[in-house]
C-alpha cells in the first residue's frame, strides 16, 4: 500500500505576512492525518517555512532547481542550497516552466538528477496540452516526458521520485480530469515506472483538485495524492484535501 501525499504548490504567491497566517492555520488544523503533506514555496520564503514548520509533520520544498551544482549561473538556485533550508521536495518540470521558460524534457531530467544528488525528492511533473489530448497524443507525450527522466536514472534512483500527472488543460481552469481519465494515464505511468522496478513511486494528480473532487480522484487505484495549486493557498481547503487523502 502506497502512502498518500498531498503537496501544495504556492506558485508565485504569498508574502511574509500571508505565509505566516497560512502556515499557522495549517499547523493548527493538521491533526493526525495518515497522509503525508508538504508545501512548495517561492525560494525567498524557504527560510520562513523552515522556521515555522521544523518539527511539525508538514514538510516543505521548492518549485524549481538548477541543473547545475554551483558556479556562474546568475539567478539560479542549486539543490544543495534547497537542502540547506531543510527542503524535502522540489518540483521539477512543472508545465508552467516547460511552457514559459522553454524547459525541455532533457533539462527536466538533468534537474531531477541534481535534486537527487542533494538528497531531495524531486516531484517530476508530466502532462499533455488540450491540443495534444485532442490529437490522441496524451500517452505519447507523458511517456516521452517520463521516459527522458528515467533514461538518466538508475533503478534505485528512479524509485526515489515522486511523479505528478498534471494535464495542462486542467491547471487553474476549474476543469478537472475525471477520475477515470486521470486513472487511465496514471496506470500507464505506473507501468512505465515498473519497467525500472520503480512501481512503488507515488503518482500525484494535479489540476483543479479541490475539496469536493479530491476524495474521488484519490480513491483511484493509481492516484496516490495531489499536487494542489489554487486550493493550497486557503488553509481550510488544503486541510480538507489532506483529510480526504486519509
Cβ proximity to ligand 13P: between 79 and 209 the closer is 209
Cβ proximity to ligand 13P: between 99 and 117 the closer is 99
Phi-psi region of 13 (alpha: psi -120 to 50; beta: other; left: phi over 0): beta
Cβ proximity to ligand 13P: between 196 and 218 the closer is 218
**Least separation, in Å, of the C-beta of 125 and ligand 13P?**
7
137 secondary structure, DSSP code: -
Residue of 94, 96, 128, 186 marked active site: 94
**Least separation, in Å, of the C-beta of 32 and ligand 13P?**
25
**Least separation, in Å, of the C-beta of 112 and ligand 13P?**
16
Cβ proximity to ligand 13P: between 126 and 150 the closer is 126
Q: Catalytic: 68? A: no
The closest of 99, 123, 102, 101 to 111, measured between CA atoms, is 123
**Least separation, in Å, of the C-beta of 156 and ligand 13P?**
27
Helical (H) or strand (E) element with 192? helix 179-194
**Least separation, in Å, of the C-beta of 34 and ligand 13P?**
22
Specify burial of residue 107 (Cβ count, 10 A radius: 0-12, 13-18, 19+): middle
Specify burial of residue 100 (Cβ count, 10 A radius: 0-12, 13-18, 19+): exposed
| Pairwise CA distance, residues 148 & 123, whole Å | 15
In a 13 Å sphere around the CA of 123, the CA atoms on its Cβ side amount to 33
Q: Strand, coil or helix: what is 58?
A: strand
Residue of 96, 103, 128, 166 marked active site: 166
Q: Strand, coil or helix: what is 203?
A: strand
Cβ proximity to ligand 13P: between 63 and 192 the closer is 63
Q: Catalytic: 194? A: no
| Interface contacts to ligand 13P, rule CB under 6 A | 9, 94, 166, 171-172, 206-209, 227-231
* Active-site annotation, residues: 94, 166
Amino acid at each position: 500500500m502506497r502512502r498518500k501525499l498531498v503537496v501544495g504548490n504556492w506558485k508565485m504567491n504569498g508574502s511574509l505576512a500571508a505565509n505566516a497566517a497560512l502556515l499557522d492555520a495549517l499547523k493548527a488544523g493538521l491533526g493526525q492525518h495518515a497522509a503525508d503533506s508538504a508545501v512548495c514555496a517561492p525560494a525567498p520564503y524557504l527560510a520562513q517555512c523552515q522556521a515555522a514548520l521544523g518539527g511539525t509533520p508538514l514538510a516543505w520544498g521548492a518549485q524549481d532547481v538548477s541543473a547545475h551544482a554551483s558556479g556562474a549561473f546568475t539567478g539560479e538556485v542549486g539543490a544543495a542550497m534547497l537542502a540547506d533550508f531543510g527542503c524535502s521536495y522540489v518540483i521539477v518540470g512543472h508545465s508552467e516552466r516547460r511552457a514559459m521558460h522553454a524547459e525541455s524534457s532533457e533539462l527536466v531530467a538533468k534537474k531531477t538528477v541534481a535534486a537527487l544528488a542533494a538528497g531531495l525528492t524531486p516531484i517530476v511533473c508530466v502532462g499533455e496540452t488540450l491540443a495534444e489530448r485532442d490529437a490522441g497524443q496524451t500517452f505519447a507525450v507523458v511517456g516521452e516526458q517520463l521516459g527522458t527522466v528515467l533514461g538518466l536514472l538508475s533503478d534505485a534512483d528512479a524509485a526515489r521520485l515522486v511523479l505528478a500527472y498534471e494535464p495542462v488543460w486542467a491547471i487553474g481552469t476549474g476543469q478537472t480530469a475525471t477520475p477515470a481519465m486521470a486513472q487511465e494515464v496514471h496506470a500507464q505511468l505506473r507501468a512505465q515506472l515498473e519497467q525500472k522496478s520503480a512501481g512503488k513511486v507515488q503518482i500525484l494528480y494535479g489540476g483543479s483538485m479541490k475539496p469536493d473532487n479530491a476524495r474521488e480522484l484519490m480513491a483511484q487505484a493509481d492516484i496516490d495524492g495531489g499536487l494542489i495549486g489554487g486550493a493550497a493557498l486557503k488553509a481550510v481547503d488544503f486541510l480538507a484535501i489532506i483529510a480526504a487523502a486519509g
